[in-house]
Amino acid sequence: MPILPCPTCQRPVEWNAAAKWRPFCSERCRLLDLGAWMTERHAIPGEDISPDGAGSTPDPAADDPPRH
């Protein structure tokens, strides 16, 4: 089985069915990672969203001529 580093602490983790917390080495590392996502220290890049919830992406259908 491959041995990969824990995403949180870099400790080696053997990826097999017995590794209960994989890809993490422990429940502690799993919860630390979850907390980082919850506090937005981890985030997936994307466009900003305005406070009213409307995105800044233009609607491609708005450029289409009206159909009769």
Q: Where are the domains of the chain?
A: 1-43
According to the model, what pLDDT value does residue 48 have?
80
- Residue where the block lists tokens 């053997």: 14
Topology annotation, domain 1-43: Erythroid Transcription Factor GATA-1; Chain A (3.30.50)
Q: Contact at 8 Å (CB) between 24 and 30?
A: yes
Q: Which helix (H) or strand (E) holds 12?
A: strand 12-14
pLDDT tens across 26-60, in order?
Answer: 999 999 999 999 999 988 888 887 787 665 555 55
According to the model, what pLDDT value does residue 21 have?
93
According to the model, what pLDDT value does residue 29 have?
95
According to the model, what pLDDT value does residue 47 have?
86
**pLDDT above 90 (res 25):** yes
